Amino acid sequence: MTAELVYKAPSPANAGLQLYGEYASDELRAAILGAGWQEPEFPAPRMPGDIPEWLETESFHQPQGSGLFGGSTDEEGEANIARLREALAPFGIELGEPRELTVQEQL
């Protein structure tokens, strides 16, 4: 499984978690949600049957912050990401620095 923090410009403070390669186990999902992160309101359905692993993706979002339109401030974003890193560590998942999504990825 690959985990990545991705964000839309202008601020990585509102980065989301993207998991690739397999669906999260119940334990991993509980750890992510326990760190305060949330599943999308309308998540993509799981793909049925035997599919290539690269199609298995899941997203999680940071909790609502006190910034503009409910976004996280820089301090809140750093704290949210730190809690997520701690929650993922027992599963052997390390997160790099947040990566800005390209225009193609946002479409």
Give the model's confidence band at 107: pLDDT under 50 very low, under 70 low, under 90 confident, else very high: low
Owning domain of residue 99: 2-106
- Examine the pLDDT at 43 and tell me if it is beyond 80: no
Q: How far apart are CA 5 and CA 18, in angstroms?
A: 6
Q: Exposure pattern of 2-39 as b/e (b: 16+ CB <10 Å)?
A: ebebbbeeebbbbbbbbbeeeebeeebbebbeebebee
Per-chain mean pLDDT for the chain: 84
> How many domains does the chain fold into?
1
Give the model's confidence band at 97: pLDDT under 50 very low, under 70 low, under 90 confident, else very high: confident
| Tens digits of residue pLDDT in 24-36 | 889 999 999 999 9
- Mean pLDDT over 94-104 rounds to 84
In contact, 15 and 62? CB cutoff 8 Å: yes
In contact, 32 and 87? CB cutoff 8 Å: yes
For residue 18, the model assigns a pLDDT of: 87
Q: Is 36 left (phi over 0), alpha (psi -120 to 50) or beta?
A: left
